[in-house]
Amino acid sequence: MKATLMALAAVVGMTLSAAPPARADGSFEIVNTNEKATIIKIWTAAFGQPKDPWHEIDLKQPIGPKTTSRFDHSGDMCNEDVKVRFDDGYEHTFENINVCDGNPLFIN
């Protein structure tokens, strides 16, 4: 069974001319709300930068169903594309996610 993904995170209060300030703790959160599938890989790339390659996030352990994981964010780019792969092989890309605004990315 293929996992169905749904992004519930929203980018709020952004402007085109300036990025919002980074979170004080420099981290962002991914919530796997799926009942069965486990997230086994995550990559990020700078949004709007087509020459920026995908950068794999080092998962200490897979993100199981109904589990939350927090990741460190470094650098001054807040808007990222985020790609996830589930243990059933399904992949999905979320575009223009603000990893600095404190809103978690919910994945189902």
Q: Dump pLDDT digits (tens) for 9-27.
A: 322 222 223 334 444 456 8
State residue 77's pLDDT score.
83
- Rounded Cα distance, 43 and 81, in Å: 8
Mean pLDDT of the chain: 78
User: Which CATH superfamily, name and number, covers 27-107?
Assistant: Domain of unknown function DUF5300 (2.60.40.2890)
- Report the relative pairing of strands 67-72 and 79-86 from DSSP bridges: unpaired
State residue 3's pLDDT score.
36
The domains of the chain are located at: 27-107
Mean pLDDT, rounded, for 50-73: 91
State residue 1's pLDDT score.
37
pLDDT above 90 covers what percent of the chain? Answer: 55
Report which of 33, 24, 93 is spatially closest to residue 68, judged by C-alpha positions.
33
Q: Dump pLDDT digits (tens) for 80-108.
A: 999 999 999 999 999 999 988 888 999 98
CA atoms within 13 A on the CB side of 90: 15
State residue 73's pLDDT score.
76
Vertex 7, ends 88 and 32: CA angle to 5°?
A: 50
- Non-local (6+) Cβ contacts of 74 within 8 A are 26
Report which of 74, 98, 84 is spatially closest to residue 40, judged by C-alpha positions.
84
